[in-house]
Amino acid sequence: MVFDNLIIRARSLTKSYGEEAVLKDFNLDVWQGSIFGILGISGSGKTTALRLLAGFEKPDSGSIEMYNQIISDENTNLPPEDRNIGMVFQDYALFPHLNVEKNVAFGLSKEDLKKDRLNEVLDMCNLTEYKNKFPQDISGGQQQRVALARALAPNPDVILLDEPFTSLDAQMARKLRDEVVSLLKETETTAIIVTHDQEEALSVCDIVSVLEDGIVMQSATPQEIYLNPVSQNVANSVGDPNIIKGFSTEGRVETALGTFVSAFNGALDVSIRPECIEVTLDSKGSYVVKECIFYGHDQVISFENSAGQVFRSRSLPSTIFEPGDKVSIEISEVTTFPSNT
Amino acid sequence: MKIPKGLLVSNLLILSAFLMPVFYMIWRFFTFSRSFESFFESWNVYGLLFNTISMFFAVVFSSVFIGLLISIFLVRFDISGSKILFTLCTLPLVIPSYIGALTYVSAFSPKGIFVQIFSFTGLSEINGIDGFLGSWIVLTLFTYPYVLLICSSALRNLDSTVEEAARSLGVNRFRIYTSVVIPRLKKPIIYSGLLVGLYVISDFGAVSLMRYSTITKAIYTYYEFSLMGDPIIFYSGLLIFLALIISFIQRSSDVSRAATVSGTPRVPAKVELTFQNKIFVYLFLITVIFFGLILPISVLSYWLIRGISLGNDVRAVFGGVVGSFTASIATSFLAILISMPIVILVSQYKSRLSSFIEKIILALYGLPHLAVGVSILFITIKIFPSIYQSFFALVISYLIVFLPQAVGGGQASMEQVKTSYIEASSGLGKSKIETFRTITFPLIYRGLLAGGALVFLSTMKELPQTLLLRPTGFNSMAVDVWSFASEGLFTQAAFSAFILLAISAIPTYILSTRNLSR
């Protein structure tokens, strides 16, 4: 997919609450029509970033541009009602005294209403049959749809979604996620999704920013982030790799799991994702299975070497491993980072 | 969040106006022309204090006893008809103390209704119920429902796991109450007991009709004889001081802040009673209902019918009806208006300042009406003579004591307005004013109206402030009831009392049961 029109550009945003710096250096480029993800654990500053973009809070420093117009910096602060940015709140914030139809119509102008925009949106979000119900009388998934419909109705330039699926059960979340993505793509709506769920970020977004401690660590496509994380922290935030310490000389690093090629010399961390290690039963193998946890769609095998170091491998559940089985391994891909310590 | 200037200024203005009576009292206290000790030497201060405080303890004790006992009977025991019995037991709270006192004074006077009914037994005269005994009975009967409402709702929400644990440790079914249940209800008991206590020390209507000398009665006597000097200020200050101590202790055992068990509490099965015990429980409940509800209503009806058959002029009470309505409408309308900025500040801009303002407003609620009335009286005489004895001054005085009810109503509904609603609305392109009109107001107006209705009813029943501050020619139903009753004109008093009860009973019942058993 090619995006060529920059819609939001945020530069060096900072925000502190009292002594605590929540955002330290936040940068972001959002292209029109894309789904942009901000991935981070709670406390990483992701919700604050969203609130700055929406205009509910003012950054301490830095600037936000929309279509090359500054909407927020030291001197300007366009109020939220003038930004044309839609928002889906984590708790949905549906107005309890208005029914579904009135909630969705809330942000529509008289002209919009004349053009039947309301029914169009209700229809698009499959809400027509619930339109006379009140928010407290419909299910969580339906409430989520109403929140989305309400935000989409006035045709915002960008729509912000704050942890949109966390309050739903896993199955519902997955179903709704697919629905939302196809709706956003259909309507060519630009969206920014804040989430702590790596699977969600990787599967839904065109571009993902990994936010840690108020700083953007890496911004790239999901594939790039997963396969070429710039740091061990980023690698950890999108997977659970085996990390092995090593020291590289002449472009080669010796580790407990074998010798690998390295782009640089010195102390480094070798990161190997569990799915990149293939384990086979082998009576002459030099590793011993410690534990095998069965997940249904796959299984995770913990095994140790003669020195007692434990590693993890993820594989299809076709072979059954028992603790004590001897195994040999084959590694398909490794990543190396300069050591943190 | 930054507090908008206009909101801050309006809050500070309201607050300083409302604190004026208290500040005036404090200022007078420090500028007495004589030494402080001399007050204690020259008047009957100790006697009045003793009377007031002994009434406090007597009524608090008996109200807690009756209220708690009924709570346990109706919540924990298998009593058929417990719902209707509960309603009947809580109903006495709609009867103002002066109406209750009027019925007891007239029924049990030396040659009153009681003697007439039992004259066939040869009874010709009794000692009559008044003084300490009369006040004690009347105040207990019309205040125990507060204990009942608060304690029964606490008892209903009490998780029974601890009781089951106690029983598995060998404590028997009835000792559970003294060893586990009542100790765990300590907070609601103290809270409701002191609510009753606050009511007792501020009460003027019952003790004055019962001719029992307390501080409030002394204050009114000074006023009646136009002795508007230091003593009346001294007694009013003393009363405020007592009230503040009581409400301070009461607030520290606020039930709403007590730790609650998460999830739905486990409710124990209702205890089956033996036949004898059941009879005892029914007898107890029926006795309480008889004295708290049936007797006063019957006596009132008796006087009413007798008044009509004697051809008393019903028009005599019209002035009071009109006066009550005018004052109540004006007060409740202003209370809603004035409470709005306070409610917005307290619930939308949480800060140290807003919680301070909230505490002050709550403290106003405990102020004895008579003392506030005295302070306003002095302020209008000494500082603003132009509004002395004006309708305006009367309404201000009402507002000071009843504003907390309006704020409470608004605040409860404001809790529904989440910050994210306001943000969602502005995110959808609505201005601040538009957001208030379409989101905030529709969500809070019911609460504001409920608060306003409570102020309306309280104003209608208010007695001591009205007596002190009413403009010449102004009458209210409460004033009519009290003044006719204190002159022994019971048939006339019953007219006004009946109309007052007819208008206020049902809404008072609904609003107070809702507020107290939350």
Nearest Cα neighbor of A330 from A260, A276, A287, A262 is: A276
| pTM listed for this prediction | 0.75
Assess A79–B contact: CB distance below 8 Å, yes or no.
Answer: yes
Neighbours of B484 (CB within 10 A): 22
Residue B385 pLDDT:
83
Give chain A positions within 8 Å (CB) of B416.
96
B206: Cβ–Cβ under 8 A, 6 or more apart, which residues? Answer: B97, B98, B100, B101, B135, B138, B139, B142
Instruction: Count Cβ atoms below 10 Å from residue A102 Cβ, excluding itself.
Output: 16
Q: Average per-residue pLDDT in chain A?
A: 88
Domains of chain B (ranges, CATH numbers): 39-311 (1.10.3720.10), 312-518 (1.10.3720.10)
What tokens does A198 get? 């790596």
Q: Which one is predicted more confidently, A307 or B272?
A: A307
Nearest CA among A62, A41, A52, A30 for reference residue A211: A41
Interface test with B, best of A58, A81, A167 (most B CBs within 10 A): A81
- Whether A111 has its CB under 8 Å from any CB of chain B: the answer is no
- Residue A94 to residue B269: CA distance in whole angstroms: 40
Q: Token pair of A257, please?
A: 């799991």
- Classify strands A215-220 and A69-72 as parallel, antiparallel or unpaired: unpaired
Is the Cβ pair A93, B424 closer than 8 Å?
yes
Instruction: Give the tokens for residue A266.
Output: 């010195």
pLDDT at A156 over 60: yes
Q: Does A91 touch chain B (CB under 8 A)?
A: yes
Whole-number Å distance between alpha carbons of B512 and B508: 6
Three-state DSSP state, A272: strand
Question: What is the residue-level pLDDT of chain B in tens, covering all 518 positions?
Answer: 577 788 888 888 888 888 888 888 888 888 877 776 777 766 688 888 899 999 999 999 999 999 999 999 998 888 888 889 998 998 898 889 999 999 998 888 777 788 788 878 877 777 777 789 999 999 999 999 999 988 888 888 777 766 766 666 666 667 778 777 888 888 889 888 988 998 999 899 899 988 888 888 888 888 888 777 778 888 888 888 888 888 888 877 765 544 444 445 566 667 778 888 889 999 999 999 999 999 999 999 988 888 888 877 777 788 888 999 999 999 999 999 998 888 888 887 878 888 888 888 877 777 888 989 998 988 888 888 888 888 999 999 999 989 888 888 888 788 788 888 988 998 888 888 898 899 888 888 888 888 888 899 889 989 999 988 888 888 899 998 998 888 888 888 888 898 888 888 888 888 777 766 65
- Could you tell me which CATH number the domain at A6-237 has? 3.40.50.300
Write the residue in A96, A97, A107 that is nearest to B428 by C-beta. Answer: A107
Q: Distance of CA A46 to CAs A84, A196, A220, A235, B143, Å? A: 21, 9, 17, 18, 55
Which residues are bridge partners to A269 per DSSP? A245, A337
Say if the Cβ atoms of B429 and A93 lie within 8 Å.
Answer: no
Domain boundaries of chain A, sorted by first residue = 6-237, 242-338
Is the Cβ–Cβ distance between A225 and A218 less than 8 Å? yes
Q: Do B427 and A79 touch (CB under 8 A)?
A: no
Indicate the residue type of B226. S
| Cα–Cα dist A181/A165, whole Å | 12
CB contact under 8 A, B429 and A84: yes
Pairwise CB contact (< 8 Å): A151 & B426: no
Helix pair B97-107, B477-486: axis angle to 10 deg? 30
- pLDDT tens column, A160-205: 999 888 878 888 888 888 888 888 888 889 999 999 988 888 888 9
Q: Tens digit of pLDDT for each residue in A269-283?
A: 888 888 889 999 998
State yes or no: pLDDT of A260 exceeds 50. yes
Answer for the pair B337, B348: CB distance below 8 angstroms, yes or no. Answer: no
Query: Nearest residue of B to residue A90 by CA position?
Result: B420
DSSP symbols for B66-114: HHHHHHHHHHHB--TTHHHHHHHHHGGGGS-HHHHHHHHHHHSSTTSHH
In the sheet that A310-315 helps form, which strands lie side by side, from edge to edge? A277-281, A326-331, A287-294, A299-304, A310-315
Closest CA to B333 of B393, B411, B395: B395
SS3 for A64? strand
Q: Cβ contact (<8 Å) for B423 and A87?
A: yes
Task: Chain B: give the shortest CA distance to residue A135, in Å.
Answer: 13
CATH 2.40.50.140 for domain A242-338: yes
pLDDT at residue A255 in the model: 84
Do the chains contact at B424 and A95, CB–CB below 8 Å?
yes
Q: How many CB pairs under 8 A join A and B?
A: 58
| DSSP track, A134-153 | -GGGS-HHHHHHHHHHHHHT
Whether residue B14 contacts residue B341, with contact meaning beta carbons closer than 8 Å, is answered with yes
Q: Over the stretch A70-127, which tens digit does the pLDDT of each residue have?
A: 999 888 888 888 888 989 988 888 888 889 999 999 888 888 888 888 999 999 888 9
Q: Which residue has the tokens 């739905």?
A: B264
B510-513: long-range contacts, CB 8 A cutoff, minimum separation 24: B511/B450, B511/B453, B511/B454, B511/B457, B512/B93, B512/B94, B512/B149, B513/B90, B513/B149
Q: Which amino acid is at B465?
A: Q
